[in-house]
């Protein structure tokens, strides 16, 4: 054998080296967690009309209200979430693929009910007004710039809803249905018309603001709420409910207690009175994700196993450092001849 001469004392403090290694490891794990949790994506509170938005046209208020009422609210970011039992709420934007919406609805007919909320408003970030000094705006706030029907509704075959928007001249447009009544926050009203639609909520002109599709399904709760009879016989088929007027259930509507009570009643009727899960879709709004090992590792139930593995790795690293760290830091090495 031949001994390598001992090198002089290392200028590095063992504790400082350990701290640097641990800090680097924590930063790396934190980066993986951020990627897996989706923190690298654009902000979800972007003012658009979906469940993560806190602007006038969003549905974050409805989701919070349902959670406080005991509903399990799920925000679906992948296709698997669209196949869950319970009520699915679709809030497609103005520009989307109508055939994709129709495919989602058709794929759920024997899984659970679907509530389709049509878009209406065109908006702009409220920060634009804040820059001009007119008002103060928080993240996600929007200002209304116009109203327009969605062109993709014509691709919902075989569902025919034919949406229209009209501006009422008489004060705030009144609505009634499901044992409630109130008024919309704006004079521009969106409604639908179709031979197979049964009205649930109407305005003073009897225009359908919300309706369900009459088909071969047996929907006694919805039929009773509409004051009619359910003529279908297929008990395995789930209903499709169309909300043409989003101001009945969006954040703007939640400012009115009457609209909030109507929204709860509508969700209950659409869910056949079951306090199960209510899934809000985010995939059509551009927040879809593809599940992979990294994203699954930081989500229940796999996150528990991930935490255990990280703790085990830290313990193993600490033991290895206590055994070999001082020698490595001080520069000692043994060569075997």
Q: Three-class SS string for 198-248? A: EEEEEECCCCEEEEEECCCECCHHHHHHHCCCCCCCECCCCCEEEECCHHH
Q: For residue 26, what pLDDT is reported?
A: 74
Whole-angstrom Cα distance, residue 311 to residue 323?
19
Is pLDDT at 56 greater than 90 in this prediction?
Answer: yes
Q: For residue 37, what pLDDT is reported?
A: 58
The structure tokens listed for 43 are 């902000």
**Exposure pattern of 239-266 as b/e (b: 16+ CB <10 Å)?**
bbbbbbbbbbbbbbbbebeebbebbbbb
Is pLDDT at 21 greater than 80 in this prediction?
Answer: no
Determine the average pLDDT of the residues in 295-311: 67
- Rounded to two decimals, what is the model's pTM? 0.76
Q: How many CB atoms lie within 10 A of CB 301?
A: 7
Q: What percent of the chain has pLDDT over 90?
A: 56
Query: How confident is residue 287, by pLDDT bands cut at 50, 70 and 90?
Result: confident
Determine the average pLDDT of the residues in 212-227: 93
Q: For residue 125, what pLDDT is reported?
A: 86
Q: What average pLDDT does the structure give for the chain?
A: 83
Query: How confident is residue 230, by pLDDT bands cut at 50, 70 and 90?
Result: confident
Beta bridge partners of 174: 183
Whole-angstrom Cα distance, residue 210 to residue 199?
6
Q: For residue 231, what pLDDT is reported?
A: 83
**Exposure pattern of 307-329 as b/e (b: 16+ CB <10 Å)?**
eeeeeeeeeeeeeebeeebeeeb
Place of tokens 């208020």: 61
φ/ψ of 116, rounded to 5, equals: -100, 120
Is pLDDT at 227 greater than 60 in this prediction?
Answer: yes
Query: How confident is residue 337, by pLDDT bands cut at 50, 70 and 90?
Result: very low
Most confident of 130-139, 252-261, 325-334: 252-261
Is pLDDT at 3 greater than 90 in this prediction?
Answer: no
Is pLDDT at 149 greater than 50 in this prediction?
Answer: yes
Is pLDDT at 239 greater than 90 in this prediction?
Answer: yes
Determine the average pLDDT of the residues in 216-237: 91
Q: For residue 297, what pLDDT is reported?
A: 58
Q: For residue 336, what pLDDT is reported?
A: 40
Q: For residue 45, what pLDDT is reported?
A: 82
φ/ψ of 20, rounded to 5, equals: -65, -40
Task: Report pLDDT digits (tens) over 63-97.
Answer: 999 999 999 999 999 888 899 999 999 999 999 99
Among the residue ranges 63-77, 143-157, 297-311, the one predicted with the least confidence is 297-311
Q: Strand 277-281 and strand 72-76: pairing?
A: parallel
Q: For residue 334, what pLDDT is reported?
A: 44
Q: Where are the strands (E) in the chain, listed by range?
A: 72-76, 87-90, 114-117, 121-125, 142-147, 164-167, 174-177, 180-183, 188-191, 197-203, 208-213, 240-243, 277-281
């Amino acid at each position: 054998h031949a001994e390598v001469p001992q090198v002089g004392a290392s200028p590095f403090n063992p504790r400082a080296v350990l701290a640097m290694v641990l800090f680097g490891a924590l930063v790396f794990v934190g980066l993986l967690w951020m990627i897996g949790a989706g923190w690298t994506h654009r902000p979800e509170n972007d003012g658009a009309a979906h469940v993560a938005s806190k602007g006038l046209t969003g549905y974050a208020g409805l989701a919070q209200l349902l959670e406080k009422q005991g509903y399990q609210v799920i925000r679906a970011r992948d296709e698997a979430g669209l196949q869950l039992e319970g009520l699915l709420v679709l809030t497609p934007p103005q520009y989307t693929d109508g055939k994709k919406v129709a495919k989602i609805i058709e794929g759920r007919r024997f899984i659970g009910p679907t509530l389709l909320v049509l878009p209406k408003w065109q908006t702009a970030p409220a920060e634009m007004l804040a820059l001009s000094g007119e008002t103060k705006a928080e993240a996600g706030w929007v200002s209304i710039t116009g109203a327009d029907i969605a062109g993709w509704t014509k691709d919902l075959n075989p569902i025919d809803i034919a949406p229209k928007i009209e501006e009422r001249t008489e004060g705030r447009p009144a609505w009634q249905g499901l044992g409630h009544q109130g008024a919309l926050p704006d004079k521009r009203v969106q409604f639908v018309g179709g031979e197979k639609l049964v009205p649930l909520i109407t305005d003073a002109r009897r225009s359908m603001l919300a309706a369900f599709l009459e088909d071969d399904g047996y929907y006694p709760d919805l039929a009773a709420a509409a004051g009619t009879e359910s003529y279908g016989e297929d008990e395995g088929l789930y209903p499709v409910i169309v909300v043409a007027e989003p101001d009945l259930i969006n954040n703007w509507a939640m400012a009115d207690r009457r609209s909030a009570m109507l929204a709860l009643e509508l969700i209950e009727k659409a869910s056949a009175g079951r306090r199960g899960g209510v899934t809000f879709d985010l995939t059509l709004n551009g927040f879809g994700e593809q599940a992979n090992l990294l994203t699954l590792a930081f989500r229940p139930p796999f996150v528990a196993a991930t935490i255990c593995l990280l703790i085990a790795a830290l313990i193993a690293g600490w033991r290895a450092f206590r055994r070999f760290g001082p020698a490595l830091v001080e520069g000692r090495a043994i060569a075997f001849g």
